[in-house]
């Protein structure tokens, strides 16, 4: 297993695939969250921010990276709202917020607001599941108002948010207890969740240390697990990044391949049906490209390599790129422009785009 070490001193990247965002007033925040995954929030005549939100604390659900990507064209403050935990009921999943999420958002300059679900509805399909979960809007509004007056960078804001993780986690557990009683739907064991929350209550450092450990374990698991949908030729790799403040962040690469003094670092996206992977999948991959294209001092076992960054798109069936028309052709042209501008390469099946 390849272990890559690198530094990031700042982020420079120009996106070309961000969708056009609708504008809502501050008083319309509740309806905006119900209608849009990403939107511009007009606070008053002087202040606007862009808001994205995560359905779950886990990044593999509902394409949260694609939502964050769509916020990147906005020149002002960019925030993303993430639930501290999401419990879907005893027949569903339960996910907890992890440090690696804070890592990536902080490196990208995204301000995180940790929130929790205050209300929900009984699933019409499953007896012991809940759905249509809704945030505590007043808590989010309060955090947004604080953020408007905040002068420091996203990293420092996010570290302060971590300090509130224990308090918000406790509110989330109390809220799920009320939802469970109201809807008559059992949720997951409270004791195991309380253990996690109690660890967070020890403060910011405990949260960071706990989540770093879990992130490293997840990184190690992911590095040896080949997803069936990923078509790669090289080996998976761990990527440890040091930022300008000396903090270490742990990620994985779908594929790493050494060729003399260069190393190809790839993020892979696959489709079994379409001509190209879904747009949300591609944007998910592009968010990783933002990270990869800003790597400096890339080393393996203290030997420095020149990185070549690759977004690898694979299809189950053979694809004739020249046959793509309409929206797919426009998507490919924008993708080529983004790759050229930000100095990474696009590999579709076995052919690099030129």
Neighbours of 188 (CB within 10 A): 17
**pTM, 2 dp:** 0.87
**What single string gives the DSSP state of each residue in 277-334?**
--HHHHHHHHHHHHHHTT-EEEEETTEE-EEEEEEEEEESS---GGG--HHHHHHHHH
The segments of the chain whose pLDDT lies below 50 read 228, 230-232
For residues 338 and 344, what is the distance between their CA atoms, to the nearest angstrom? 8
pLDDT at 184: 95
pLDDT at 246: 60
pLDDT at 189: 86
For residues 176 and 139, what is the distance between their CA atoms, to the nearest angstrom? 16
pLDDT at 116: 97
pLDDT at 16: 96
Is 220 within 8 Å of 213 (Cβ atoms)? Answer: no
**What single string gives the DSSP state of each residue in 19-74?**
PP--EEEGGGHHHHHHH-SEEEEE-SSS-EEEEEE-SSSSTTSS-HHHHHHHTTT-
pLDDT at 202: 62
For residues 339 and 336, what is the distance between their CA atoms, to the nearest angstrom? 5
pLDDT at 208: 59
Domain boundary assignment for the chain: 13-217, 226-352
pLDDT at 58: 82
Could you tell me the CA-to-CA distances from 111 to 78, 102, 264 in Å, in that order?
Answer: 6, 9, 31
For residues 266 and 253, what is the distance between their CA atoms, to the nearest angstrom? 6
How confident is the model over 206-237, as pLDDT tens digits?
Answer: 555 655 665 666 666 666 555 545 444 558 88
């Amino acid at each position: 297993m390849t272990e890559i070490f690198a530094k990031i001193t700042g982020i420079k990247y120009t996106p070309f695939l961000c969708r056009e965002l609708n504008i809502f007033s501050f008083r319309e925040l509740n309806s905006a969250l119900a209608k849009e995954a990403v939107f511009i929030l007009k606070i008053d005549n002087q202040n606007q921010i862009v808001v994205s939100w995560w359905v779950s604390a886990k990044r593999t659900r509902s394409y949260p990276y694609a939502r964050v990507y769509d916020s990147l064209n906005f020149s002002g403050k960019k925030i993303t709202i993430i639930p501290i935990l999401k419990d879907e009921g005893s027949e569903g999943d339960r996910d907890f917020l992890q440090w690696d999420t804070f890592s990536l958002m902080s490196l990208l300059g995204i301000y995180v607001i940790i929130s929790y679900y205050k209300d929900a509805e009984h699933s019409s399909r499953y007896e012991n599941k809940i759905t249509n979960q809704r945030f505590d809007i007043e808590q989010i509004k309060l955090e947004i108002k604080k953020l408007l007056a905040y002068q420091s960078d996203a990293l420092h804001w996010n570290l302060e948010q971590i300090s509130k993780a224990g308090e918000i986690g406790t509110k989330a557990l109390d809220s799920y207890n009320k939802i469970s009683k109201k809807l008559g739907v059992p949720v997951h064991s409270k004791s195991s969740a309380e253990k996690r929350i109690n660890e967070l209550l020890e403060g910011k450092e405990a949260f960071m240390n706990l989540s770093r450990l879990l992130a490293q374990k997840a990184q190690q698991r992911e590095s040896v697990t080949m997803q069936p949908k990923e078509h790669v030729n090289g080996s998976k790799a761990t990527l440890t990044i040091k930022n300008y403040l000396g903090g270490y962040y742990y990620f994985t690469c779908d594929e790493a391949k050494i060729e003399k003094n260069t190393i190809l670092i790839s993020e892979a996206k696959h489709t079994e049906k379409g001509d190209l992977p879904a747009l949300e999948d591609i944007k998910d991959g592009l968010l990783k490209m933002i990270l990869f294209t800003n790597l400096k001092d890339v080393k393996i076992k203290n030997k420095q390599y020149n990185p070549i960054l690759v977004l690898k798109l694979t299809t189950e069936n053979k694809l004739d790129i020249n046959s793509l028309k309409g929206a797919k052709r426009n998507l490919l042209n924008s993708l080529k422009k983004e790759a050229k501008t930000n100095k990474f390469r696009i590999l579709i099946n076995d052919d690099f785009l030129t």
